Amino acid sequence: MKKLIEILKDFLKDFWQSPFRWPVLAVVVVVFILGLLIGGSGSGGDTGRPGHDHGAEPHVEGAKQKEQIWTCSMHPQIRQPKPGKCPICGMDLIPVSTEEEEVGPRELKLSPTAIKLADIQTAPVERRFVSTIIRMVGKVEYDESRLGYITSRVPGRIDRLYVDYTGITVRKGDHLVYLYSPELISAQQELLQALKAYRKFGSGKTTVNAAREKLKLWGLPAAQIKEIEKRGKPTDHLTIYSPMSGIIIHKNAVEGMYVKTGSKIYTIADLSRVWVKMDAYESDLSWIRYGQIVEFTTEAYPGETFKGRIAFIDPVLNEKTRTVKVRVNVLNPGQKLKPEMFVRAVVHSKLSVSGKVMDPDLAGKWISPMHPEIIKDKPGNCDVCGMPLVKAEDLGYILASAREKEAPLVIPASAPLITGKRAVIYVAVPGKEGIFAGKEVVLGPRAGDYYLVKKGLQEGEQVVVNGAFKIDSDLQIQAKPSMMSPEGGAPAPGHDHGGTVHAAAKKEAKPGHTIPTAFQETIDGMADAYFAVHQALSSDNLGGAQKSAADLQKKLALVDMNLLKGNAHMIWMNLEKKIKENSQKLKKAKDIEAARVHLEVLTEPLATAIKLFGSRKTTVYRFHCPMAFDNKGAYWLQNSSETRNPYFGSSMLTCKDSVETLVQAKKEKK
């Protein structure tokens, strides 16, 4: 090094004494100035020249460099100012682009991997006519308008009953009763005397006609009256004939019995048409209209479907059963339908956006208000009762010409998250891949697999139909507005998730108010039962898992929801339903694979209950296995950090790709 310095000194001394020193210095200065001019022009210059700073950022006049944010691909709620490890799963953090950082207060950004693991699926909001099926049960009854009574029109004694047992089919005009009546003899004598006087004196025709009419009203046919006049002798017996065809369903007299005027002898029912009376629930009344077609089946004829139209809807609700009687008139030509048969019926109803029932067969038609089978294209009178026909629109139907304009806006029934009176929908933000935003909507009635939308969505928007609850949970963790927290304010990432009342659950509580201790203890008991289920399944023990599931149900039955108020009460009711349903399925699982499926569904609502209502006595970890259920992935909960996979058990006990602290015990808080 010293020798190199001496050589450099000698070179500079000789150069300075040289006569060419000034031209060389001038050239060096010119080259230096040109370099500055070229570099300042922004043309890029030769980055390969010696002395160029490769690490410096290009200078932008008047702009401030944006701070780089780092996040986790599996847990996008993590935001750090520098690279490192994810505090939840330990994966390397990745830089967040400027576009990824631009998300709204109700929005969530998910990576493609996270979307796949959460199984997020979307469907478009569309306008279409949707239908629902209203199911009812009931039984066949006699048509009251087709019942007839055979009565005695004169007092007398029954000497002969030609039909002496019930169930016999009779036709109109068949003889039924042979009746002795002294009064009938007197009436015949009056006719014969009046007729004799008329023939002798040529007067008294009015008296003859009156005597004949009297006998007709007593039931004697015109042929029998003529026979009496021809014979000139009264008969002491009267034959009563059937005024209609049908079945003898009641016999009220026996031979030798004395009867009075008006005494019932038989009851006849015409079964060529019957009534089917069914019970409709109070909640289904908006879907039921007069004149709708009803399809029903019976146990006697499996596979055969009968049809009829609704002819009557009872205006009074049964306060005990909370049902309304619905009557259907049904043709019964083969008399297959017999009174007292049980039936199962369905009504297919379609609603328009205005809430009126759609029926193309009735739109624009005129219908009888008493007999719905009478339907005409023009106004007129009913062929049966003579009443004026009314427009089908007056009965709640919609015009066919307006059908396309009246198509309602609908979404799949799995899209909304409903709690109390609120309904939250998550939609994919257009033009922003992987970003989902929450919206509060106003829903109409549910029609089968769809909900009608009254307000909050537009046609064509992509709504999340699977995985919405997982998106909502992530928004809660990020303290953003969600289903359970309309105004946001849930615990931020890394903060304590336990015992204080959630923002959505403490609408009527004071700030910092805690869940009642008694309620927290029951939630802790349910968590312990869940951990026992997990331990059993990770040990491939189906019997132990079912026993622990039964224990979980017992702990659930001890929960007193009256300890919660306001929205917290509504939130718990929603969670309780899911926990109860899936723990019951797990308890009755036929094999261990089915039990593992039910554990995966049970985990989500129980995790939410632990976060919102638990006491934080124990740290709870949430694990994720990417290979569960054919690589679909699934979560589970543990009260220890050592991995014990319940979905694979002994075959892959330690399989996981992430683990996070769902709830941190109080004693572990720093």
Taking the C-alpha atoms of residue 386 and residue 105, their distance in angstroms, rounded to an integer, is 66
The reply to whether 616 and 540 lie within a common domain is yes
**Is residue 451's pLDDT more than 80?**
yes
Number of other residues whose CB lies within 10 A of the CB of residue 189: 13
User: From residue 227, how far is each of 19, 232, 553 by CA, in Å?
Assistant: 170, 8, 86
Answer with the one of 54, 85, 102 that is the final residue of a domain: 102
User: Are 598 and 585 a contacting pair, CB within 8 Å?
Assistant: yes
User: What is the percentage of the chain residues whose pLDDT exceeds 90?
Assistant: 24
Span 138-167, mean pLDDT?
A: 90
Tokens (6 digits) for 336:
């297959």
pLDDT-based confidence at residue 621 (cuts at 50, 70, 90): very high
**DSSP one-letter string for 600-658:** HHHHHHHHHHHHHH---SS-EEEEEETTHHHHT-EEEEESSSS---TTTGGGSTT--SE
Buried b (16+ CB within 10 A) or exposed e, 514-524: ebeeebbebbb
- Between the CA atoms of 563, 568, 572 and 575, what dihedral angle is there, to the nearest 10 degrees? -160
Whether residue 531 lies inside any domain: the answer is yes
pLDDT for position 540: 92
User: From residue 207, how far is each of 184, 193, 214, 233 by CA, in Å?
Assistant: 17, 10, 11, 18
User: Are 646 and 622 a contacting pair, CB within 8 Å?
Assistant: no
Total tally of structural domains belonging to the chain: 3
pLDDT for position 396: 64
Whether residue 570 lies inside any domain: the answer is yes
**Who has greater pLDDT, 439 or 392?**
439
Span 642-670, mean pLDDT?
A: 82
Span 210-221, mean pLDDT?
A: 85
> Which residue in this structure is represented by tokens 């029951």?
522
Whether residue 259 lies inside any domain: the answer is no
Each residue's pLDDT tens digit, 13-27: 555 555 555 555 555
pLDDT-based confidence at residue 127 (cuts at 50, 70, 90): confident
The reply to whether 84 and 25 lie within a common domain is no
Number of other residues whose CB lies within 10 A of the CB of residue 214: 14
pLDDT for position 346: 93
Taking the C-alpha atoms of residue 505 and residue 490, their distance in angstroms, rounded to an integer, is 10
Q: What is the largest CA-CA distance in the chain?
A: 184
Grouping H, G, I as helix, E, B as strand and the rest as coil, residue 595 is: helix
Taking the C-alpha atoms of residue 471 and residue 436, their distance in angstroms, rounded to an integer, is 8
Span 195-200, mean pLDDT?
A: 84
Phi-psi region of 232 (alpha: psi -120 to 50; beta: other; left: phi over 0): left
Number of other residues whose CB lies within 10 A of the CB of residue 434: 17
Each residue's pLDDT tens digit, 260-277: 988 999 999 999 999 999
Using CA of residue 653, residue 659, residue 662, residue 666, what is the dihedral sign? positive
Tokens (6 digits) for 212:
């004949």
Tokens (6 digits) for 465:
């139909």
**Who has greater pLDDT, 119 or 328?**
328
Measure the N-to-C terminal CA separation of the chain; round to a whole number of Å: 57
Query: Which amino acid is located at 610 in the chain?
Result: I
Whether residue 529 lies inside any domain: the answer is yes
Number of other residues whose CB lies within 10 A of the CB of residue 332: 18
Q: How many residues does the chain have?
A: 670
The reply to whether 538 and 585 lie within a common domain is yes
Question: Which contiguous run of DSSP H or E holds residue 122?
Answer: strand 121-124
Closest CA to 663 of 585, 610, 601: 610
Taking the C-alpha atoms of residue 193 and residue 251, their distance in angstroms, rounded to an integer, is 38
Whether residue 223 lies inside any domain: the answer is no
Backbone angles phi, psi at 585, to 5 degrees: -65, -40
**Who has greater pLDDT, 30 or 574?**
574
pLDDT for position 529: 93
Using CA of residue 299, residue 304, residue 308, residue 310, what is the dihedral sign? positive
The reply to whether 75 and 15 lie within a common domain is no
Residues 6+ apart with CB under 8 A from 115: 434
pLDDT-based confidence at residue 552 (cuts at 50, 70, 90): very high
Tokens (6 digits) for 662:
């769902």
pLDDT for position 397: 66
Whether residue 598 lies inside any domain: the answer is yes
User: DSSP E strands: which ranges in 292-389?
Assistant: 293-298, 306-313, 323-331, 342-351, 357-358, 366-367, 375-376
CA geometry: angle at 182 spanning 181 and 183, to 5°? 90
pLDDT for position 45: 41
The reply to whether 20 and 92 lie within a common domain is no
CA geometry: angle at 327 spanning 330 and 338, to 5°? 45
pLDDT for position 507: 35
Taking the C-alpha atoms of residue 329 and residue 74, their distance in angstroms, rounded to an integer, is 62
The CATH number of residue 639's host domain is: 1.20.120
Taking the C-alpha atoms of residue 173 and residue 51, their distance in angstroms, rounded to an integer, is 126
Taking the C-alpha atoms of residue 343 and residue 276, their distance in angstroms, rounded to an integer, is 8
Each residue's pLDDT tens digit, 301-327: 998 999 998 888 898 999 888 999 999
Each residue's pLDDT tens digit, 558-611: 888 888 876 677 788 888 888 999 899 999 999 999 999 999 999 989 998 888
User: What is the percentage of the chain residues whose pLDDT exceeds 70?
Assistant: 78
User: From residue 661, how far is each of 10, 217, 477, 657 by CA, in Å?
Assistant: 72, 95, 12, 14
**Lowest-confidence segment of 385-399, 426-440, 651-665 by average pLDDT:** 385-399
pLDDT-based confidence at residue 638 (cuts at 50, 70, 90): very high
Closest CA to 294 of 280, 281, 282, 306: 306
**pTM of the complete model:** 0.51
**Is residue 3's pLDDT more than 60?**
no
Whether residue 575 lies inside any domain: the answer is yes
DSSP conformational letter for 87: T
**Who has greater pLDDT, 160 or 508?**
160
Tokens (6 digits) for 34:
């040109």
Grouping H, G, I as helix, E, B as strand and the rest as coil, residue 556 is: helix
Each residue's pLDDT tens digit, 470-500: 888 777 766 677 776 676 653 433 333 333 3
Question: Which contiguous run of DSSP H or E holds residue 453?
Answer: strand 450-455
Taking the C-alpha atoms of residue 447 and residue 459, their distance in angstroms, rounded to an integer, is 18
**Lowest-confidence segment of 90-104, 155-169, 311-325, 523-537 by average pLDDT:** 90-104
Closest CA to 363 of 391, 329, 328: 391
Answer with the one of 102, 123, 157 that is the final residue of a domain: 102
Question: 416-419: long-range contacts at Cβ-Cβ below 8 A with a sequence spacing of 24 or more?
Answer: 416/441, 416/443, 416/451, 417/468, 417/469, 417/472, 417/483, 418/443, 418/574, 419/483, 419/484, 419/567, 419/570, 419/571, 419/574
pLDDT-based confidence at residue 655 (cuts at 50, 70, 90): confident
Domain containing residue 95 = 69-102
Tokens (6 digits) for 430:
């257009």
Tokens (6 digits) for 14:
């000789």
**Is residue 407's pLDDT more than 70?**
yes
Question: Which contiguous run of DSSP H or E holds residue 472?
Answer: helix 468-477
Whether residue 568 lies inside any domain: the answer is yes
The reply to whether 574 and 525 lie within a common domain is yes
pLDDT for position 358: 62
